[in-house]
Amino acid sequence: MYIEQAFKALHDWWRYIIGVFIIVFGVFIGQIPFTAAVLLKAFKDGENPSGLDQSAMMSYLEPNLNLFLMLLSFAVGLAALLLVTKYLHKQSFTELTTSRKQIDWKRFWFIFLFWGIISSGLVVADYYMTPEHYELNFQLKPFIILCVIAIIFVPLQTSFEEYLFRGYLMQGIGVIVKNKWMPLIITSCVFGLLHIANPEVEKLGPMIMIYYIGTGLFLGIMTLMDEGMELSLGFHAANNLFTALLVTADWTAFQTHSILKDMSDPSETALSEIFVPVFVVFPIILFILSKIYKWTDWKEKLFGKVEEPVLLTSEIDNIGNDTNL
């Protein structure tokens, strides 16, 4: 079982506390170039940096530079997280990712292409149905640069969030509280609340937190039912990557040189864009995946107990040899 993979590693509660501090510190270090670039530009423009709120800072730089520096902090955070799991917990990358003997990349690519095609199709369909809501934003050279940045760094950003919430914290909280529903709820709520600084929240109001927390629940359920993170990794990467390339808006976190720019008033469609994905689209996707991958015993996988498995003598010896940490 996926959460129980943590029992094969060093899983003392204090290790997870130290690990979270190290990971947060890594993200902080990764944010320094972005903050420095914003401050430098503000001084050059003769503006007071303290007058820039979070939303202004996220759109202050040239879009491609802004995107690169924003995503850099997630890349550093991911590196810190992987170092923590390797050296502090002595856990393999595979055991952090899945309960299978090997990472099933077919699952990753299936959901990546599945959701990439569907989400892109929805944008294209909306463009043709309501062309007045969009403005052509395509510029060849900036778009090519955007593609390079997005293809490399967006998957690092989404992987950091997945490995932190659906991986490290899901397993860590699970082996501490000895059940599955609590890590699912906690990681989903924290995942949602960490998006509270996004400009979308300022524009659409606190109701959008239903979408963020609901997305966290959706990805968490997907991880627990499939006993691994391959599907959540692929879905999250596709969702953010195709969005970054296809459409942007003045009020979104990703200000990019995308193909289209959404000029509509988000308050007019807020309810449908928040509630339809969470209560219609996500359940349908879970149903489809359950049929493809033959998920069963939902109650046990989502609400069951987390019990420490009986380890082989060789596994106990390997863990014991690492107690010098």
Nearest to residue 25, comparing CAs of 70, 76, 75, 71? 76
pLDDT of residue 323: 41
Query: DSSP string spanning 1-31?
Result: --GGGGGGS---HHHHHHHHHHHHHHHHHHH
Query: DSSP string spanning 102-116?
Result: S--HHHHHHHHHHHH
pLDDT by residue for the chain (325 residues), tens only, comes to 899 999 999 999 999 999 999 999 999 999 999 989 988 888 887 776 666 665 566 667 899 999 999 999 999 999 999 999 999 999 999 999 999 999 999 999 999 999 999 999 999 999 999 999 999 999 999 999 999 999 999 999 999 999 999 999 999 999 999 999 999 999 999 999 998 878 788 778 888 999 999 999 999 999 999 999 999 999 999 999 999 999 998 888 778 999 999 998 877 777 788 899 999 999 999 999 999 999 999 999 999 999 988 755 455 555 445 444 4
The number of residues in the chain equals: 325
Amino acid occupying residue 62? E
Give 255's DSSP letter: -
pLDDT of residue 320: 46
pLDDT of residue 48: 67
**CA–CA distance, 72 with 110 (Å, rounded to integer):** 27
pLDDT of residue 200: 82
pLDDT of residue 313: 47
Question: Which residue is associated with the tokens 């490399």?
Answer: 152
Give 101's DSSP letter: S
Name residues whose C-beta falls within 8 Å of residue 294's C-beta, 6 or more positions apart in sequence: none
pLDDT of residue 54: 59
